[in-house]
Amino acid sequence: EPEVTQTPSHQVTQMGQEVILRCVPISNHLYFYWYRQILGQKVEFLVSFYNNEISEKSEIFDDQFSVERPDGSNFTLKIRSTKLEDSAMYFCASSAQLNTEAFFGQGTRLTVV
């Protein structure tokens, strides 16, 4: 069964460093998303991406964040100058169409120390 895969499963980084979280969406999907969940809090929408551009972003997704689809398979989230409060589980998701089911990856746990 096709699935969304995320790497790494756990990343530890020092405050101020840049991290890139990687995702391989399901191959025929057109819409891609990043969500995050800070420990003990809700899963929060960050950004959606379609046709090589951001289609929607939340107030969390500021200039510190960027997304990219560098090739035909990967979808990345870059976080510049990480802060302690960026520590969270980051989920990638993809969907075939706009109003169809979003399939989620298993998440990357980011720990900023």
Partner 1 sequence: GEDVEQSLFLSVREGDSSVINCTYTDSSSTYLYWYKQEPGAGLQLLTYIFSNMDMKQDQRLTVLLNKKDKHLSLRIADTQTGDSAIYFCAEKSGYGNNRLAFGKGNQVVVIP
Report which of 102, 111, 106, 107 is spatially closest to residue 33, judged by C-alpha positions: 102
Q: How far is the CB of 109 from partner 1 (least distance, A)?
A: 10
Size of the site for partner 1 (CB under 8 A): 28
Among 48, 61, 67, 77, binds partner 1 (CB under 8 A): 48
CB-wise, 17 or 62, nearer to partner 1? 62
The footprint of partner 1 on residues 83-102 (CB under 8 A) is 91, 93, 95, 98-99, 101-102
Q: Which of 20, 44, 66, 69 binds partner 1 (CB under 8 A)?
A: 44
Token pair for 66: 């960027």
Per the structure block, which two tokens stand in for 70?
């560098």
By the rule CB under 8 A, 49 interacts with partner 1: no
CA distance linking residue 34 with residue 22, whole number of Å: 11
Nearest to 37 by CA among 105, 95, 102, 107: 107
Report whether 113 contacts 19 (CB < 8 A).
no
**Residues lying near partner 1 in the complex (CB under 8 A):** 3-4, 6, 31, 33, 35, 40-45, 48, 55-56, 58, 91, 93, 95, 98-99, 101-107
